Amino acid sequence: MIKPFKLRVPNNTLNNIYNKVKKYPWTNIQNMNGWEHGTNLKYLKEISKYWLTEFNWRKQEKKINKFSNNLTKVDGISIHFIKENGSGINPMPLLILHGWPGSFVEFLNIIEKLAHPEKFGGKKEDSFDVIVPSLPGFGFSGSSNKPIGPRKIAKIMNKFMTKNLGYKKYLSQGGDWGATISNWLGYDYSKSCKGIHINFLSMRHPRGAKTKQEKNWETRFEKQQILQEGYRTQQATKPQSLSYAMIDSPVGTAAWILEKFFSWSDIKNNKIDKVFSKDTLLTNIMVYLITNTFNTASWIYFGRREEGGRLFPKNFKKIKVPTAIAEFPKEMSEWPPKSYVKKIFNLQSWTKMRRGGHFPALEQPDLLVNDIRRFAKKISKTL
């Protein structure tokens, strides 16, 4: 059963958040310039002031409600999703999956471009049925009663697409956890998931690097990740302890999330506002706050560790569905050599973008949309 969903956050929920932002004890924070040690204090104060004086949640709510929002249940978990039917005669279903610390908000500005290309100088026949869910534990979706990982979420997403929405075949796109879940959709559910388009690689081949070039990449990756391991280790081992603090501190939640949007994106001269508007950043943060899902959204890290971590199973066999890679230059980690990637995927397309980072739907939406469209056209005759 699918039920229409309209977002209307109670005023007292909003006021509770704003009051906590207003009362944040700024004088207790030691000022450290720049972003090297974490979220910049000057910027955090600036965006918090904007939050209280200029940010308009109702305006963002209206933007979200412009789309067809729905709720449905899969394996007892309520799944929130936006569905925009394409303009063409027979649009290909496209499942778009977010990650952490993102949300469905990342994709609000590309949904219509994908579903109605004729409105943006394209052709109707290139349209998609666009499906954008909130992952289990995130946003307006419900959660399981304990942490689950991306492979289990892939099972839920495939059932959602094939049983609840009735699609016999579809494409999946994602970055961050969305890419990982797409990997598992292509691996476990190739009868229905007919292609994956990813802009991030988190999974690893169980037999590891073989060539000198691959081993050098592996060494560089380990060094690059040293300063990224803190949040990941915390959320993969003791997510509950962190959540006790975050659930009561909107400013703390904002700082935890903003640091990733800064450090994983194509930011020049430390000017985050040149890439993301304050409205966009705060809307994404507000989704975590008004739903109280900071806790359950972090569970996916714990769940992946229980599923085996980065490694595919020891008996891993190459993912056979056509795969496209969109490589953005300021991604949080370097892509492996093509020889390594080809051992994992049936690689059909690899586009090296000239700019952009970990959040391409927000940073470089047209580059992402055009690459998805090219890939879909390329493989459409084989589907």
pLDDT number for residue 382: 74
Band (pLDDT 50/70/90 cuts) for residue 21 is very high
**Domains in the chain: boundaries:** 2-382
What are the catalytic residues?
176, 301, 358
Q: For the residues 77-102, what does the mean pLDDT come to?
A: 96
pLDDT number for residue 64: 98
Whether residue 228 is predicted with pLDDT greater than 80 in this model: the reply is no
CA distances from 100 to 105, 135, 179, 345 (A): 12, 10, 11, 24
Q: For the residues 6-31, what does the mean pLDDT come to?
A: 95
Distance CA 230, CA 236 (A): 10
150, HSE (Cβ side, Cα atoms, 13 Å): 29
pLDDT number for residue 32: 78
DSSP state of 247: T
31, HSE (Cβ side, Cα atoms, 13 Å): 6
Distance CA 354, CA 367 (A): 9
Chain centroid, CA 342 distance in Å: 24
CA distances from 292 to 145, 251, 299 (A): 15, 14, 13
pLDDT number for residue 88: 85
Largest CA distance in the chain: 62
Distance CA 246, CA 256 (A): 9
pTM: 0.96
Q: Which of 89, 84, 82 is nearest to 106 (CA)?
A: 82
Q: pLDDT tens digit string along 27-54?
A: 988 887 789 889 999 999 999 999 999 9
Band (pLDDT 50/70/90 cuts) for residue 245 is confident
CATH class of segment(s) 2-382? alpha beta
Q: pLDDT tens digit string along 359-380?
A: 999 999 999 999 999 999 999 8
* pLDDT > 90: percent of the chain: 86
Band (pLDDT 50/70/90 cuts) for residue 16 is very high
pLDDT number for residue 233: 79
- Full strand arrangement of the beta sheet holding 128-133: 2-4, 69-74, 77-84, 128-133, 92-97, 170-174, 193-198, 319-327, 345-352
Q: Which of 67, 104, 48, 89 is nearest to 284 (CA)?
A: 104
The helix (H) or strand (E) run that includes residue 198 is strand 193-198
Q: pLDDT tens digit string along 326-370?
A: 999 999 999 999 999 999 999 999 999 999 999 999 999 999 999
